[in-house]
Amino acid sequence: MCSRFHNVCGLFWTLIVCGCSPAVPVAVPPPGHLVQGIRQSTLQPGPPSPVRLVRNPVEGDAEAIETGKRLFGQFNCAGCHAGGGGAIGPALIDDQWIYGSGAGNIFSTIIEGRPQGMPAFGGRISEDQTWRIVAFVRSIANLTEDPAPSPPASGTEKGKAVFLHGPCVMCHTIRGTPAGSRVGPDLTHFASRKTIAAGTLPNTRGHLAGWILNPQNLKPGTQMPATLLESQDLHALLDYLETLK
Amino acid sequence: MRTILLLTLASLSLVLASGAGGQAERGKQLAGWYGCGSCHEIPGLRGATGQVAPPLRRIARRAYITGSVPNTPTNLIRWIRAPRTVDARTIMPDMKISERDATDIAAFLYKLD
């Protein structure tokens, strides 16, 4: 039943894509290659899997940007964002990014969807297609520079990369970096704060570690999700956050 | 000679009885400040309900700590001060705790029931 449903979906998308642009065939992947969005549920068998740091494999690639532009039209992104100038949906060519302007942010926004209108494309688009759209969107926003230098030079630089390519960037702003989301608190001067967790804990390294790794336990109901980092990534992230005076 | 030996044994047992030889009450306050309780469950310490790392109740009775070294005051203090020198892959952060503070925290931990 399930595979039949997938077959029907696959046929549906094949028809849509071919119907929209017969001259430029775009490979639609078989269902097994589709990117599944992250499902939010209160039921979970144990803690979520460790965070994967994300980088666009086709960032700045001219051919990928060109394909991304076509896909932008084929998936009807333009229906809400117009040519990028915005209409029903936000503009993509200015510097206002509610959910962050990093490649990983835009990828997540496409796959997971966002409240008040942005549909989740998870399950309907391949990873490769998504990255190409991301490359296109970042190119029209003049965000061609990859914010993550690799390999990072110091612990602090590594921590910054963990922040910018991990889940932190989805919700927090650090001015002077691509992290510009306004969902959670602005962390630009985080190290100057006396307390964390809405004033409930002293801003010390120990409390901060516990807060990042398992905030729900310290403040039930907080919007901050648990972030299961590899230990080296956590230490680097703590080093970085402590530099934000 | 025998008196000296007895005195030495007596003072040694006193040191062991007080855990790591630090001030437990001060250690309790420091544990609260540094944030041990955000990752560990610690009985008697306000807000110490952490569920990131093992609970610390009755830690004095454990044979080994960190899953790797014998539970001696020296090892515990070293672990508190510089966890990654004991286990390079640990998630426990280095909180830049002084020898004195770590000794007092160890004294507090060794009194936990």
Reported as a single tens digit per residue, the pLDDT across A51-107 is: 344 678 888 888 999 999 999 988 989 888 988 887 888 888 877 777 777 788 888
ipTM surpasses cut 0.90: no
One-letter amino acid for residue A201 of the chain: L
Q: Which of A207, A217, A231 sits opposite B35 (nearest CB)?
A: A207
Q: Which residue has the tokens 């740091």?
A: A53
C-alpha–C-alpha distance, residues A31 and B95, integer Å: 48
The answer to whether residue B20 scores a pLDDT higher than 80 is no
pLDDT at A153: 55
The answer to whether residue B13 scores a pLDDT higher than 90 is no
Q: Which of A218, A232, A234 sits opposite B38 (nearest CB)?
A: A218
Closest-approach residue (CA) in chain B for A227? B52
Contacts of B92 in chain A (CB under 8 A): 209
pLDDT at A32: 44
One-letter amino acid for residue B26 of the chain: R
The answer to whether residue A114 scores a pLDDT higher than 90 is no
CA atoms within 13 A on the CB side of B65: 22
**Per-residue pLDDT tens digits for B79-109:** 999 999 999 999 999 999 999 999 999 999 9
Across the interface, do B93 and A238 touch by the CB < 8 Å criterion? Answer: yes
**pLDDT: which is higher, B75 or A26:** B75
For A146-150, A193-197, B24-28, B85-89, which range has the lowest pLDDT when averaged over its residues? A146-150
Q: Which of B35, B49, B84 sits opposite A206 (nearest CB)?
A: B35
Nearest C-alpha of chain A: how many angstroms from B50?
A: 7
Contacts of B36 in chain A (CB under 8 A): 206
